[in-house]
């Protein structure tokens, strides 16, 4: 397959592109900078120079491909407080790709997050792939992708765990929590810290994207989850051990002081199952779990 990948040189893209190439796919990666373009070429990928505002270029690259994997998102806007601008920009890209692929039966694999389930109040049980939300930030893009099945697109949406971890992870929630602990002099959790976060290794996630673009049925929701739910206190304690810092509880009203833009997420309980994804695609995570990966030490070098 000729697969167009947005976010191709980023954290997850840096595992997805080699995974696709190893699977004998021809990868066309979107690059915003010449540095990213050089990286993609060194892996054996073709390059399209564009960013998320270049909808015409994105639509053309999608139309010329057999399948699309959409990974790019303006995380820097989210961190700066302009989350809705990032969300709206992402929705525009999703619609552009959908229009380019409509009626072709080509594959489109988009990206969302399991945290949306927790924000909708699904936490009394593990969230499943069958859970669908009516709308909201990032959910609208997911629902748009699923609806593309009715427009002749073999579409799938992968909900990623908030902690996609590995030595490739330089700017995700893991490094952010570690940086905050260093800055504050303590690794923190909210309340009793028993709220759970799912997690998965980057390379396991890359295999999931490959399997999805190759064979996921149209209109499929998938979960990129290996650890179903790690208590946040255990995450904070693992970080504290590696930094030789105390682990402390923070009251909910003090969360913003400790966690900044992450305050709205850190206290969420987000147990999530990937049983249906594993059964459908034969995907089985095989890399180290979150705590074991933190203990390896690469995040602290």
Q: Please provide the DSSP assignment of 119-177 as one string.
A: HTT--SS-B-TT---S--TTHHHHHHHHHGGGGT-EEEEEEE-SEEESTT-SSSHHHHH
pTM above 0.85, yes or no: yes
**What is the β-pairing status of strands 196-201 and 154-160?**
unpaired
Give the per-residue pLDDT at 77. 60
Burial degree of 60 (CB within 10 A; 0-12, 13-18, 19+): middle
Per-residue pLDDT of the chain (301 residues; tens, 9 = 90+): 999 999 999 999 999 999 999 999 999 999 999 999 999 999 999 999 999 999 999 999 999 999 999 999 987 766 666 778 889 999 999 999 999 999 999 999 999 999 999 999 999 999 999 999 999 989 999 999 999 999 999 999 999 999 999 999 999 999 999 999 999 999 999 999 999 999 999 999 999 999 999 999 999 999 999 999 999 999 999 999 999 999 999 999 999 999 998 999 999 999 999 999 999 999 999 999 999 999 999 999 9
Give the per-residue pLDDT at 80. 63
Give the per-residue pLDDT at 76. 72
Give the per-residue pLDDT at 145. 98
Q: How many helices (H) and strands (E) does the chain have?
A: 14, 12
**What is the β-pairing status of strands 196-201 and 2-6?**
unpaired
Query: What is the rounded distance in angstroms from the CA atom of residue 251 to the CA atom of residue 234?
Result: 17
Q: Provide the β-strand partners of residue 272.
A: 127
Placement of tokens 């260093």 in the chain: 182
**Nearest one of 109, 88, 8, 84 to 51, comparing CA atoms:** 8
The residues spanned by each domain of the chain are 2-165+202-225+278-286
Placement of tokens 């945290």 in the chain: 115
- Using left for φ > 0, alpha for ψ between -120 and 50, and beta otherwise, residue 66 falls in alpha
The arrangement of secondary structure in 2-165+202-225+278-286, i.e. its CATH architecture, is: 3-Layer(aba) Sandwich (3.40)
Give the per-residue pLDDT at 79. 63
**Nearest one of 11, 5, 56, 65 to 31, comparing CA atoms:** 5
Structure tokens at 27: 């990868």
């Amino acid at each position: 397959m000729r697969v167009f990948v947005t976010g191709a040189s980023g954290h997850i893209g840096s595992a997805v592109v080699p995974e696709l190439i190893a699977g004998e796919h021809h990868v066309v990666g979107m690059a915003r900078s010449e540095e990213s373009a050089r990286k993609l070429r060194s892996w054996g990928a073709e390059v399209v120079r564009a960013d998320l505002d270049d909808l015409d270029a994105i639509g053309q690259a999608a139309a010329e491909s057999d399948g699309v994997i959409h990974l790019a998102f303006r995380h820097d806007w989210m961190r700066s407080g302009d989350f809705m601008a990032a969300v709206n920009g992402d929705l525009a890209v999703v619609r552009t790709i959908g229009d380019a692929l409509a009626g072709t039966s080509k594959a489109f694999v988009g990206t969302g997050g399991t945290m949306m389930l927790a924000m909708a109040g699904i936490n009394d049980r593990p969230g499943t792939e069958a859970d669908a939300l009516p709308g909201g930030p990032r959910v609208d893009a997911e629902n748009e992708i699923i609806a593309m099945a009715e427009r002749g697109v073999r579409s799938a949406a992968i909900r990623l765990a908030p902690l996609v971890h590995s030595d490739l992870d330089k700017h995700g929630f893991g490094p952010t929590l570690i940086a905050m602990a260093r800055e504050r002099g303590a690794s923190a959790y909210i309340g009793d810290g028993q709220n759970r976060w799912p997690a998965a290794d980057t390379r396991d996630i890359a295999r999931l994207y490959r399997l999805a673009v190759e064979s996921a049925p149209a209109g499929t929701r998938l979960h990129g989850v290996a650890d179903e739910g790690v208590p946040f206190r255990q995450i904070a304690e693992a970080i504290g051990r590696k930094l030789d810092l105390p682990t402390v509880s923070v009251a909910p009203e003090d969360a913003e002081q400790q966690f900044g833009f992450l305050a709205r997420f850190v206290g969420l309980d987000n147990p999530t199952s990937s049983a249906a994804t594993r059964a459908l695609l034969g995907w089985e995570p095989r890399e180290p779990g979150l705590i074991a990966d933190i203990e390896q030490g690469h995040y602290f070098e």
